Amino acid sequence: MKKIISILGALALVSAVAFAQPQHNKKGNHKDGEEWREKVRAEQVSFITAELDLTEAEAQAFWPVYNDVQKQRREAFKACADANKALQDGLEGPDVAKLLDQYAACKQAADKVDADALPRYKKVLPIEKVAKLVLAEEKFRHQQIGKLGGKGGNHTGPGGPKAPNGQMLPPSSVQE
């Protein structure tokens, strides 16, 4: 029963976030991209909730912290993407050293978000569930990569190389 309540609470949080997002029109905006991101976020919340088997009290303490960390991660990723674009655009210009330093600084800031997250999680969850969270995030990431890679070509993930149908391939069949 507690697990069901945790899952429902997590889905309610994701729904609130999804409906709070501004909708874009069809003229060159990213409504479909935002809908896809929200779908993936909902899948992630559901996946993590199931993997961690959170109690109601744990879920109430954990999700606000997790959502804040995810927001910081998105902001750091955006800053790095912007710095990367500026570096590409200014590669031949006089400010290349400055742009490179800005890119390196944003990468360090992104790493700091992840480093600062673990102590925050340890304050609201037992250490075993923090470890499960780290593994669940990685497992979810591999699952999503597998979904994207399933449209053609060989891809690797947990367990080694796989064919587009998801079946394991012998190591000798993977082209380097």
Per the domain annotation, does 65 fall within a domain? Answer: yes
Structural domain range at position 79? 2-23+30-145
Per the domain annotation, does 158 fall within a domain? Answer: no
How many domains does the chain contain in total? 1
Per the domain annotation, does 165 fall within a domain? Answer: no
CA–CA dist 159, 69 (Å, integer): 29
CA–CA dist 48, 165 (Å, integer): 25
* 45 neighbors 88 (Cβ within 8 angstroms): no
The radius of gyration of the chain's CA atoms, rounded to the nearest angstrom, is 20
pLDDT digits (tens, 9 = 90+) for 128-167: 999 999 999 999 999 999 988 865 444 454 555 555 555 5
pLDDT digits (tens, 9 = 90+) for 99-113: 899 999 999 999 999
* 46 neighbors 7 (Cβ within 8 angstroms): yes
